[in-house]
């Protein structure tokens, strides 16, 4: 158990989710801290809600029949693919589709490759084996699968190695990945996933390479008050990125959602995230990121905790 915790929290602190451990019959991360009766602040599902998914390393959504999408994060190096195989059975047992976010680097924080070297290595075929290994497993999934590669590429922060590329460089690398992944996973769909910032259009790889578009939408009450002078809700926060992405005429998904603040703030987001809204006709799914933030927010905001049992400020 201790080794599982260590492996799950190293690097980006993202992991293959609760699904992989549970499907192997091993005690899941943090499962002893969660009970069926534990109060939480998950998004509210309505009769006409769009599809709801979760990245859920704590297992808070393991028995939630409203969850339709099982989200998984993994690097394409230093990953045990037996756990990825296990996720398919876990998702099928629950009637869920799978969303795999593939991050093109290693777990290690001390061995982060710089943007030029990563780009050169991809286009030179250095990572073809990594692509074939991951997509070879995903290609055998029975659950419908979408693969999301190298997200939030237009963010100017130096957080991910692929955020240092120009639009043309990113498009070349993304197309390379999709072309090679399709050879091993011909039934998979592919999600292009900017953060939702101005200029994202420079990174769009073309309709032939994009089945859907993913956006990242996070609500942190202190940040809202400092930068906008009021508490924003889900719709206000989503709208700028949605408007930029909608022009590509593809289905749109909030691939990462999180919110944290006082009880009123969290309730507003929980009530609004899955509500059908005529302002967002292309929005067809929302996936909750049920864990603590993996990198500090700029400024003094630290690591917000998005987990639904912990996202109300004390």
Q: CATH number of the domain at 159, please.
A: 3.20.20.80
Whether 229 is covered by a domain: the verdict is yes
Q: What is the pLDDT of residue 109?
A: 72
Give the model confidence (pLDDT) of 256-285 as tens digits: 999 999 999 999 999 999 999 999 999 999
Whether 301 is covered by a domain: the verdict is no
**Is the pLDDT confidence value at 225 over 90?**
yes
Give the model confidence (pLDDT) of 145-196 as tens digits: 999 999 999 998 878 999 989 999 999 999 999 999 999 999 999 999 999 9
Strands (E), the chain: 51-55, 67-75, 97-103, 145-149, 189-192, 212-220, 252-260, 283-289
Closest CA to 295 of 238, 218, 224, 201: 218
How big, in percent rounded to 5, are the helix, strand and coil portions of the chain? 35, 20, 45
Instruction: Specify the number of domains making up the chain.
Output: 1
Closest CA to 216 of 144, 294, 301: 294
The model's confidence at residue 111, banded by pLDDT at 50, 70 and 90, is: confident
Instruction: Provide the whole-model pTM.
Output: 0.90
Q: At what angle do helices 167-184 and 115-123 cross, to 10 degrees?
A: 40
Whether 296 is covered by a domain: the verdict is no
Whether 294 is covered by a domain: the verdict is no
Whether 249 is covered by a domain: the verdict is yes
Give the model confidence (pLDDT) of 24-82 as tens digits: 443 344 333 333 444 589 999 999 999 999 999 999 999 999 999 999 999 999 888 88
Residue 37 DSSP code = T
Domain that residue 221 falls in: 2-289
Whether 302 is covered by a domain: the verdict is no
Q: Please state, in angstroms and rounded to a whole number, the distance separating the CA atoms of residues 240 and 252.
A: 13
Specify the pairing of strand 145-149 against strand 67-75. unpaired
Whether 46 is covered by a domain: the verdict is yes
Whether 94 is covered by a domain: the verdict is yes
CA torsion 186-189-194-195 (nearest 10°) is: -130
Mean pLDDT, residues 286-295: 94
């Amino acid at each position: 158990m201790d080794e599982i915790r260590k492996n799950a929290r190293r690097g980006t602190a993202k992991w293959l989710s609760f699904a992989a451990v549970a499907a192997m019959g091993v005690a899941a991360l943090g499962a002893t801290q969660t009970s069926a009766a534990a109060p939480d602040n998950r998004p509210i599902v309505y009769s006409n809600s769009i599809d709801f998914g979760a990245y859920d390393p704590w297992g808070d959504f393991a028995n939630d029949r409203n969850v339709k999408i099982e989200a998984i994060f993994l690097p394409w190096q230093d990953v045990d693919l037996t756990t990825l195989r296990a996720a398919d059975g876990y998702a099928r047992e629950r009637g869920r589709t799978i969303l795999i976010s593939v991050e093109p680097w290693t777990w290690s924080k001390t061995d982060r490759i710089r943007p030029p070297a990563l780009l050169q290595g991809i286009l030179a075929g250095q990572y073809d084996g990594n692509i074939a290994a991951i997509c070879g497993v995903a290609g055998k999934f029975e659950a419908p699968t979408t693969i999301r590669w190298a997200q939030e590429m237009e963010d100017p922060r130096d957080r991910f190695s692929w955020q240092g590329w120009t639009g043309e460089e990113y498009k070349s690398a993304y197309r390379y990945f999709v072309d090679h992944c399709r050879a091993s996973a011909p039934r998979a769909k592919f999600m292009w996933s900017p953060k939702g910032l101005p200029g994202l259009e420079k990174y769009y790889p073309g309709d032939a390479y994009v089945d859907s578009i993913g956006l990242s939408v996070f609500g942190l009450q202190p940040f809202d008050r400092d930068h906008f002078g009021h508490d924003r809700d889900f719709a206000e926060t989503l709208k700028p990125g949605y408007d930029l992405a909608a022009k590509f005429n593809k289905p749109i998904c909030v691939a990462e959602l999180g919110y944290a603040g006082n009880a009123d703030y969290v309730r507003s987001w929980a009530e609004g995230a899955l509500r059908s809204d005529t302002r967002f006709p292309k929005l067809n799914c929302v996936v909750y990121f049920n864990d603590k933030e993996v990198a500090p927010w700029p400024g003094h905001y630290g690591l917000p905790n998005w987990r639904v049992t912990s996202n109300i400020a004390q």
